[in-house]
Amino acid sequence: MDGGDATLIGVLPNAFGFLGDLLFRWVPATIIYAFNTTQSPPFANLTEPVALWDVSNLLAQASGPVGFEKLVNGWFVFSLITITISIPFLAITLYCWIRIVQIRRGERLAFLAAQRTVAAEDISKTQLRWNRVTEQSGSSNPESWRLAILEADIMLNELLDFQGYKGETIADKMKQVDRMKFNSIESAWDAHKVRNRVAHEGGLTLTPREVRTTIMLYERVFKEFRYIE
């Protein structure tokens, strides 16, 4: 092999050439010789590879009419069997492909949902509003406590709207909540009950401890949905 490439890549062309001669020249020539045909043209002197469209003529010439008919019938039966066997595997493959697409889609939606926080969708003043609520709740003025609770409840209503719950009142919206997806719903109910007392009982007097507890309930809800930091 003078001048040849001794590397693996250099050997590949020779290997493919040998394989081509084996499949398309030597094997057809052997078939014709084995069946002892008249070797009429175009396969009398087989020195070139056989084209794909000439394979049927080659088989017909090499095997003779009877042998060729058996070959065709055998090939039909073989094709039918292989197709029948392939159908369950194709069905399994299709099912697996559909499940992979569904799983990937679910993962993508979950990933987007994790990124789509309330803080990212809401106006940038959300945290500033909450800071104002906590500032008012820490005041010594009972009227500031009242305003803090009312504002926190307005933020709760906006959160429920953002989560897609519909209703005329906050209570109507919270009744639709899926507890598996809203772990702090009990805190929301307890805080909202205090808000109703503040809104409807004009002479209600809260203690600083009750105010702090109520604000903490709202905070627990807001932090679950990343409404506040």
Boundary-marking domain end, from 88, 113, 138? 113
Boundary-marking domain end, from 63, 83, 113? 113
Residue 2 counted as domain residue: no
Burial tier of 58 (Cβ tally within 10 Å: 0-12, 13-18, 19+): buried
Cβ within 8 Å of residue 63, ≥6 positions away = 31, 35, 70, 71
Same domain, 93 and 146: no
Same domain, 21 and 65: yes
Query: Measured between alpha carbons, how far is 64 from 101 in angstroms, rounded to an integer?
Result: 52
Same domain, 105 and 174: no
Give the model's pLDDT for residue 178: 87
Same domain, 86 and 139: no
Coil, strand or helix: which one is 90?
helix
CATH code assigned at 215: 1.20.120
Confidence of residue 83 (pLDDT cuts 50, 70, 90): confident
Same domain, 89 and 126: no
Query: Measured between alpha carbons, how far is 21 from 60 in angstroms, rounded to an integer?
Result: 21
Give the model's pLDDT for residue 123: 46
Boundary-marking domain end, from 69, 96, 113? 113
When mean pLDDT is compared across 4-18, 39-53, 203-217, the lowest value belongs to 39-53
**Count of structural domains, the chain:** 2
Query: Measured between alpha carbons, how far is 215 from 171 in angstroms, rounded to an integer?
Result: 18
What's the pLDDT tens digit per position in 103-151?
988 888 777 766 655 545 544 578 888 999 999 999 999 999 999 999 9
What's the pLDDT tens digit per position in 41-72?
555 555 566 565 666 666 666 655 665 566 66
What is the residue whose two structure tokens read 């809800």?
221
Domain that holds residue 63: 8-113
Question: pTM of this prediction?
Answer: 0.47
